[in-house]
Structure 1
Amino acid sequence: MKKILFIFFFGIIACSQKTSKTQVVEVSCGQCKFGLDTQKGCDLAVRINDTAYFVDGAHIDEFGDAHDINMGFCNVIRKAEVTGEIVENRFVASELKLID
């Protein structure tokens, strides 16, 4: 009986934990480059499988001037390796590393 209870509780715990996934995605300004309009101003976003999501856990200005002509997220779409998950139509990033 103890074994059955242990397996039952272990199964509940294992199934209830969220899993973060590491993947290569496009990253840029959600408003300027991905056409998102649910927020005002310029905010970091990722595009995964042709769908754009605003990012929680990283800020657009952490990667330099967002309006730089050559590298700024408001002017170019870049590639990044990200770890995180989509929660309530937002990408919650635990890690974001530019690769280009």
Structure 2
Amino acid sequence: MKKLLFATLFSITFSCSNRKEVPQIVEIACGQCQFSLNSEQGCNLAVRIDHKAYFVDGFDIDAFGDAHDEHTGFCEVIRKAEVSGSVQKDRFKASAMRLIENVE
């Protein structure tokens, strides 16, 4: 009986720690220029989730074009993206990212 209880608890714990990342829609831009983050120097990609901004690990600010382009650059405009990942130690660890809004 103890072995069955242990096996059940172990499998529940293991399955909870392997949750799949759920894609979500977020705002995406330069953390310093658009979201007023100041813990890093220069221009770095960030997302805003539930009104809180996080620097992104896994994608570069220039991954979607010139960050300083006056019409589409992340330092100039806030865009929307569908992302998958998780917040870990006040950073967003991105596993997937796709822009969903075109800026004109």
Q: Same fold (TM over 0.5)?
A: yes
Alpha-carbon shift at residue 14 of structure 1 (Å): 2.0
**Which runs of no fewer than 5 residues in structure 2 stay unpaired?**
none
Q: Which residue of 2 aligns with 1:86?
A: 87
Alignment of 1:3-82 (within 5 A): 3-17=4-18, 19-82=20-83
Q: Percent identity?
A: 52
Paired residue type of 1:94 = S
State the superposition RMSD in angstroms.
1.3
Does the 8 A contact of 1:19 with 1:85 survive in 2? Answer: no
Could you list the per-position Cα deviations for residues 36-58 of structure 1 after superposition, in whole angstroms to 9, with x for gaps in the alignment? 00000000000111110000011
**Which runs of no fewer than 5 residues in structure 1 stay unpaired?**
none
The runs of at least 4 aligned residues of structure 1 exceeding 6 Å deviation read none
Instruction: Tell which deviates more after alignment, 3-12 or 65-74.
Output: 3-12
Structure 2 distance, partners of 1:77, 1:21, is 22
Structure 1 distance, partners of 2:86, 2:53, is 13
